[in-house]
Amino acid sequence: MTAMQIIFLITAVVTLFAAFRVVTTPNMIHAALWLIVALFGVAVFYLLLQASFLAMAQIIVYIGAIAILMMFVIMLTRREMRDRGPQTGSQWPWAAVLSALMFGGIVWMVNSTALPASPVADVPETSIADLGRALVNPNGFVIPFEVASVLLLAALIGAVFVAWTRRHS
Amino acid sequence: MIPINWYLIVAAALFAIGLFGVFSRKNAVAILMGVELMLNAVNINLLAFWRYRAPTEPTGMAFAVIVFAVAAAEVAVGLALFIAVYRRFNSVVADDINLMKW
């Protein structure tokens, strides 16, 4: 067992435990804090996969923006924070069965598929520069990239519109 | 070297946990957290296949970047909706938001 595998296993245990706490803890603020731990663990997986740009983007976008935004919304809707009772619906056993079936199905499929045992090549040193060029290359991903930009802009304008307080109505 | 199966199985477990959160949670913000976990599991899969199948091409990373952008848009709109719903119903519990329930 190599050092990489040990790091992977520790990260996997921490990430999955944090994710489990996200969906089970009754206190919403604690759920948001556990979400930060889980997202950080996913960033470590990206580093193990040598996608360093995406690991940094994960920390900045997910932890720096999304998790903090969620924490703001939890505090703004804080009547729920005082609810210390069960935060799961009465149908949670069905949800658990369905999730376990989903997990079992995916594991069965992964194990019955021929997958590459090791990477076909090393990641080139210029992978981040290649990604940047591909995102603005007309023969690459410029159209999906621009569509994603317009989607983000439209979503943010829509978010401001939906959350706007109308004073005289 | 880490086998690709490990990444896929961890991502599957993360996806299943997120799915459980989406199905079982009552608070709407917690449901959105479950969706975030599922999107992260998908991104681990995308990057694992990029690393093991085509690491010399930026395709997998470009795909993951676009998933990031869509996730950010989804969270922005979702949380704005919950703020608007909280103003109207004074609650973000999914059971209370039953105006359009048949």
- Contact predicate B43/A42, CB 8 Å: yes
Q: DSSP states of A43-61 as a string?
A: HHHHHHTT-HHHHHHIIII
Greater model confidence, B93 or A84: B93
pLDDT digits (tens, 9 = 90+) for A93-129: 999 999 999 999 999 999 998 888 788 888 888 889 9
- Secondary structure of B35-54 in HEC code, one letter for each residue: HHHHHHHHHHHHHHHHHHHC
- Contact predicate A15/A45, CB 8 Å: yes
CA distance B42 to chain A (A): 11
ipTM at complex level: 0.92
Fold topology of A1-82: Four Helix Bundle (Hemerythrin (Met), subunit A) (1.20.120)
Kindly report the number of other CB atoms within 10 A of residue B6's CB atom. Answer: 17
**Does residue B71 belong to the interface with chain A, where contact is any CB pair within 8 Å?**
yes
Q: What is the mean pLDDT of residues B9-24?
A: 95
Residue A165 has pLDDT above 70, yes or no: yes
Helix (H, G, I), strand (E, B) or coil at A106: helix
Nearest C-alpha in B relative to A3: B1
Q: What is the DSSP letter of B95?
A: T
- Tracing tokens 């995102």 back to the chain, one arrives at A135
**Does residue A39 belong to the interface with chain B, where contact is any CB pair within 8 Å?**
yes
Q: What is the DSSP letter of B25?
A: B
Confidence of residue A31 (pLDDT cuts 50, 70, 90): very high
- Average pLDDT value for chain A: 89
Residue A147 has pLDDT above 90, yes or no: yes
Which of A12, A22, A121 has the CB atom closest to B37's CB atom?
A: A22
pLDDT digits (tens, 9 = 90+) for B40-55: 999 999 999 999 988 8
Domain coordinates in residue numbering, chain B: 4-89
Dist. CA A84–CA A81, nearest whole Å: 7
CATH assignment, B4-89 = 1.10.287.3510
- Nearest CA to B46 out of A45, A95, A124, A103 is that of A45
Domain coordinates in residue numbering, chain A: 1-82, 126-169
Is B25 within 8 Å of A88 when comparing Cβ atoms?
yes
- Contact predicate A60/A8, CB 8 Å: no
Residue A77 has pLDDT above 90, yes or no: no
Helix (H, G, I), strand (E, B) or coil at A25: coil
